[in-house]
């Protein structure tokens, strides 16, 4: 049985709209930061997890044109790109926010000192000690804002 090209295109489009990805079904596992730096860190590679903690050293980046020298222009600028450290009672982990095409997102990003819940993809960049691990944020929920 052959698969028609238009069917593949429709399935990919549907997957995009439904947010289907390689992330496993169900709620992401809630973990401590210490767990992500444990000897089993590699088992979390590209898995969605949820962590809670306090934001430190927030760096917000200017809007970014995604063309990167390509001949086709970007469909939008990326707004809300940021990086910060997240600290819980067990450790500190770097978090990156890739941004979005919506300029208003900058107004809803968390601030230093905010207590947040982050769901994101774990990226194990170095599995041997000292381990290098970060989280690529997919959602950020502000639980308590600093004044």
Per-residue model confidence as pLDDT tens digits over 45-93: 999 999 999 999 999 888 777 655 555 666 677 778 899 999 999 999 9
Q: What is the mean pLDDT of the chain?
A: 79
The domain limits of the chain are: 23-144
Could you list the beta-strand ranges (E) of the chain: 29-30, 48-60, 64-65, 77-78, 82-88, 91-97, 115-126, 132-144
Could you tell me if 105 and 80 are in contact, meaning their C-beta atoms sit under 8 angstroms apart?
yes
Length reported for the chain = 147
Q: Does residue 24 carry a pLDDT above 80?
A: no
Could you tell me if 137 and 48 are in contact, meaning their C-beta atoms sit under 8 angstroms apart?
no
CATH code for the domain defined by 23-144: 2.40.50.140
Rounded to two decimals, the pTM is 0.74
Choose from 22-36, 53-67, 130-144 the range with maximum mean pLDDT: 130-144
């Amino acid at each position: 049985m052959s698969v028609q090209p238009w069917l593949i295109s429709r399935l990919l489009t549907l997957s995009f709209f439904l947010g289907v990805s390689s992330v496993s079904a169900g709620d992401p596992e809630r973990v401590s930061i210490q767990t992500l730096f444990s000897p089993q860190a590699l088992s979390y590679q590209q898995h969605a997890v949820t962590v809670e903690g306090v934001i430190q050293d927030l760096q917000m980046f200017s809007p970014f044109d995604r063309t990167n020298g390509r001949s086709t222009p970007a469909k939008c600028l990326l707004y809300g790109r940021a990086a910060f450290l997240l600290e819980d009672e067990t450790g500190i982990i770097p978090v990156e926010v890739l941004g979005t095409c919506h300029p208003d997102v900058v107004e809803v990003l968390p601030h230093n000192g905010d207590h947040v819940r982050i769901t994101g993809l774990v990226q194990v960049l170095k599995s041997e000690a000292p381990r290098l691990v970060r989280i690529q944020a997919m959602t950020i929920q502000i639980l308590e804002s600093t004044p």
